[in-house]
Amino acid sequence: MDINLDVELIEEETVKRLVLSGEIDAYTAPKLKEALLPLTKQANVEVIVDLENVKYMDSTGLGVFISALKSSKEYSSSFKLVNLQERVERLFKITSLDNIISIENTVRGGN
């Protein structure tokens, strides 16, 4: 089982784009949290998390994104998830988190 998560940060002035590849679970969530939360603690930045290459995520990942959402509200930054695989998006829908976390551009594909 691959328990790797690659995190790449692309910074463009007030936009911080975190591009993730791999799996988000109990093993990799701390790495994600370490990269993501400091970004949401900057006022007036737009934090975009690109999940196009994340094939698997469990509830631990949801917890990190909930923390990021709370943090972004506290520090007046914006936070959204983009390019979710259907399987990952389903997790947000089942838990109704798609109603509170901004999600754009679901990736259709993968048979």
| pLDDT score, position 3 | 63
Which CATH superfamily does the domain covering 5-104 fall into? STAS domain (3.30.750.24)
Are the C-beta atoms of 72 and 100 separated by less than 8 Å? no
- The pLDDT tens digits for 11-62 are 999 999 999 999 999 999 999 999 999 999 999 999 999 999 999 999 999 9
| pLDDT score, position 105 | 86
Average pLDDT, the chain: 93
Show me where the domains of the chain are located.
5-104
- The pLDDT tens digits for 63-96 are 999 999 999 999 999 999 999 999 999 999 999 9
100 alpha-carbon distance from chain centroid: 13
Q: Alpha carbon of 67 to those of 2, 36, 38, 85: distances in Å?
A: 25, 10, 11, 21
